[in-house]
Structure 1
Amino acid sequence: MDSLTQIVLGAAVGEAVLGKKVGNKAMLYGAIAGTIPDLDTIVGKFLDPLTAIEIHRGISHSIVFSIVMAPILGWLVAQLHKKAQASWKDWSWLFFWGLVTHPLLDAHTTWGTQLFWPLDLRLAYQNIFVIDPLYTLPFLVFLILAMRLPKASKKRRKWNNLGLIVSSAYMVLTLVLKGISYQKFTEALANEKIEYTQIDTRPAAFNTILWYANIDVGDAYLLGDYSFFDSKPIRFKYVPKDRQLLGDYRDSETIKRLNKISNGWYAVEKRDSDLYYNDLRFGVYDLDAKDLRFVFSYQLIPDGETLEIEEAKRDPEAMKQVLKSLWDRIWGN
């Protein structure tokens, strides 16, 4: 999830663990704990693009990392606040829960997280977008209401607990909505007598009303969207896989690593003389556009017998139109 959401969650967890003893310090250090796992993005800036993608939400988003770092950070903070009513063990528990709830939340997004690192397993439930105001804003309001009250106040704990309950209830609701949308897509495929091997669904940006689906039909994919306000049948767009365009590079190390990142959901595209690797898990900017552009697209640059990659640049002006199209599409076809 986005940084603000992780800060809010970390602060609320810190308050739940230690707020009664140390007040707003619990929220402060909980917020810090909630941001630490995403420091892997800073490390990625010093690495090549492919390695940076691979390490994102890796070891720093694991239970192992939380277990190892919690007592270290707990000890450091205990030294800073020796007069506080909290012990080293108390601070360690705060950091453990602040660190571990970060990847637990990220596991609900499309990118997912390697919670059980070093096992080669990425959890990605794909039931919430990385930025969802309906999850974050109510949570933030309850947190602000709590932090304005004395640490011994029962109402303070009540507001904080309400924030945790409401946000968790919304997360459960998104799982229900994902299940309903999945059923709508499979019914549409059955009605059109389309045979497929896999289907992958996820919410559109900033909401859980509009949902997208990728359907594997062999040598191509079908892309579809469904809003809970739709009145017309679901329509699908055909996207050829075109993996033969990779030629001799199909078995290269770069393509193998990209395939692992995309979990096999990819199509190859030739634009002019350039070759692009499109990761389908994050969909396209505008499914109604004549010329589809994928959110995560990498230009493949031959370098002798190897391939280099460069992430396709995004057009800020085009993004404004995409947001307008998204808003219009949410309200039904």
Structure 2
Amino acid sequence: MDSLTQIVLGASVGEAVLGKKVGNKALLYGAIAGTIPDLDVLARNFTDTVTAIEWHRGFSHSIFFSLLFAPIFGWLISRIERKSDTTWQDWSKLMFWGLFTHPVLDAFTTWGTQLFWPFDVRLAFQNIFVIDPLYTLPFLVFLILVLFQKRTSPKRLKYNNLGLLVSSSYLVLTLVLKGIAYVKFNNSLQEQGIDYIAMDTRPTPFNSILWTANIETADTYLIGSYSFFDSRPIQFSSYPKNHQLLGSLATDKKIERLKHIVEGWYTITKKNDQLFFNDLRFGLISLDSEEERFAFSYQIIPKGDEIVIEETPKLRSDAKHLLAALWQRIWGN
């Protein structure tokens, strides 16, 4: 999830663990704990693109990381907060739950997380977009109410529990909505006589009303969208896999690693003799049925006996157009 959401979750968890003892300091250190796992993004400054992708939501988002570093961070905080009536065990407990709930929440997004690192298992339930105001904003309101209550006030506990309850309930609701959307896509494919190998569904940005699906067939991928306000049948756009365009590069180690990361959901495009590896998991850059650009695309650049993988930059204008199109599409086709 986005940084604000993880800060809010971490602060709320910190309050639940140690709020009665240290008041708003529990919110502060909980927010810090909720931020720490995402520092893995700094890897992009020190390594190549493929390695940075592999490291993101890897070690720092694992149970192992939480267990290993919670006592270390707990000890550091206990040295800073010597005057408070707390022990390093108290702070270690707060840090563990702040560090651990971060990847648990991330597991519900499209990117997922390697919660059981070093085992090669990525959890990605794909039922909530990385930024969802309906999850974050109510949670944030309750957290702000907590801030203005005295440490011993019963209202403080009440508001914090409500924030956790409302946000968690919404998360469960999105799982239900995902199930309904899956049935709608499946029924539509059957009605249109489309045989498919696999289907991957997820919410579109910033909402849980409009859903999209990637459908794998023998030689193409189909992409369709469904809003709970739709009144017309789902239409699917076709995108050829073009895996053969890789040629001898198909067995290159970096390409093999990219294939593993995207779990097989990719297409290859060729433009002006340049090859691009497109990650289908995050969809297209717009809702236009003629759109061919994907949100995450990587240029394959041969350099001698090796290749370099570079992520294609995104344009701000594309983001603005996508937001406008999403708002219109959410209300039905």
Task: Give yes or no for TM over 0.5.
Answer: yes
Q: How far 1:306 moved relative to its partner?
A: 2.2
Q: Deviations over 1:65-111 (max 9, x none)?
A: 00010011101111111121211111110000000000000000000
Aligned to 1:219: 219
Aligned to 1:20: 20
What amino acid maps onto 2:95 in structure 1? F
The 8 Å contact of residues 224 and 236 in structure 2, kept in 1 or not, is answered as yes
Q: How far 1:43 moved relative to its partner?
A: 2.6
2:211 partner SS: strand
CA distance in 2, matches of 1:263, 1:318: 26
- TM-score of the two chains, using structure 1 as the length reference: 0.99
Aligned to 2:189: 189
Aligned to 1:282: 282
Aligned to 2:246: 246
Aligned to 1:326: 326
- TM-score of the two chains, using structure 2 as the length reference: 0.99
Q: How far 1:318 moved relative to its partner?
A: 2.6
CA distance in 1, matches of 2:44, 2:113: 16
Aligned to 1:71: 71
Q: How far 1:289 moved relative to its partner?
A: 4.1
What amino acid maps onto 2:56 in structure 1? H
What amino acid maps onto 2:237 in structure 1? K
Q: How far 1:120 moved relative to its partner?
A: 0.4
What amino acid maps onto 2:114 in structure 1? Q
246-255 or 30-39, which deviates more: 246-255
The aligned length equals 333
What amino acid maps onto 1:248 in structure 2? S
The percent of aligned pairs where both chains have the same amino acid is: 62
Please state if 1:3 is matched with 2:3. yes
Please state if 1:153 is matched with 2:150. no
Aligned to 1:132: 132
Q: How far 1:166 moved relative to its partner?
A: 0.2
Aligned to 1:89: 89
The 8 Å contact of residues 285 and 291 in structure 2, kept in 1 or not, is answered as no
1:264 partner SS: coil
Q: Deviations over 1:200-256 (max 9, x none)?
A: 000000000000100010111110000001000000001000011111101111110
1:300 partner SS: strand
Aligned to 2:271: 271
The 8 Å contact of residues 38 and 57 in structure 2, kept in 1 or not, is answered as yes
The 8 Å contact of residues 287 and 322 in structure 2, kept in 1 or not, is answered as no
The 8 Å contact of residues 299 and 310 in structure 2, kept in 1 or not, is answered as yes
CA distance in 2, matches of 1:110, 1:291: 21
Aligned to 1:299: 299
What amino acid maps onto 2:330 in structure 1? I
CA distance in 1, matches of 2:184, 2:291: 26
Please state if 1:170 is matched with 2:132. no
Aligned to 1:33: 33
CA distance in 2, matches of 1:9, 1:191: 42
